[in-house]
Amino acid sequence: MAAYNFSAGAVLPRGTDPQVVGNRLDYLCKKSGLGRLSELSPKLVVEDARSLQSPLHKVFEAKGLWDDKRAAEQARLEFAGYLVRHIYVEVIAHSGERRIQRAFVSVPSKQDKGRVYTPFATAISDEEWREYMLESAKSDFTTFKNKYANLKELAVLWDAGKTVFARSPRKNKAA
């Protein structure tokens, strides 16, 4: 049996056991699959979670997802974020090359403890947000590396990542 854990930064109800969730998702995947080709879709997970007997039911309940009014508002907020995350702009790099990049990036709010989106250009011109983006890029790179570490064709990227992120250490903040 696999040992399951949630990814760093996962926001889940207190007490949600990753082993229980992972085992259930694995069960659903195997139950729906065709031999080795097992599949798991969000729709299948929701269908299973509707049952009071499913160990996933309480996780959805704790997030307010069985309250249709609350769930609808949450869906609107998620869709708004989806819209913001999927707007891209064409920019001209210092090299003169045209590039497509996200118009807005997610950063920690300077007004409260939440997260907000800001134009990419604003984020890279603000020292605190730029530092955050570098840390986020390092985290994304590590996630990518962990996912594809066994593909020898990508080994050159792992070495390049070590070099790049060794040059951009996070600054120590004075208390």
> Hey, where are the domains in the chain?
1-66
Q: What integer best gives the mean pLDDT of the chain? A: 87
Q: Given a cut of 90, is residue 89 above it in pLDDT? A: no
Q: Taking the model in full, what pTM does it have?
A: 0.66
Q: Given a cut of 90, is residue 9 above it in pLDDT? A: no
Most confident of 26-40, 55-69, 94-108, 152-166: 55-69
Amino acid at 60: F
* 21 Cβ neighbours under 8 A, 6+ residues apart: 4, 6, 55, 56, 59
**Higher model confidence: residue 174 or residue 106?**
106
Q: Give me the pLDDT at residue 154, please.
A: 92
Give φ, ψ of 110 to 5 degrees: -90, -5
Q: Give me the pLDDT at residue 40, please.
A: 82
CB atoms within 10 A of CB 132: 17
The band of 175, judged by pLDDT with boundaries at 50, 70 and 90, is very low
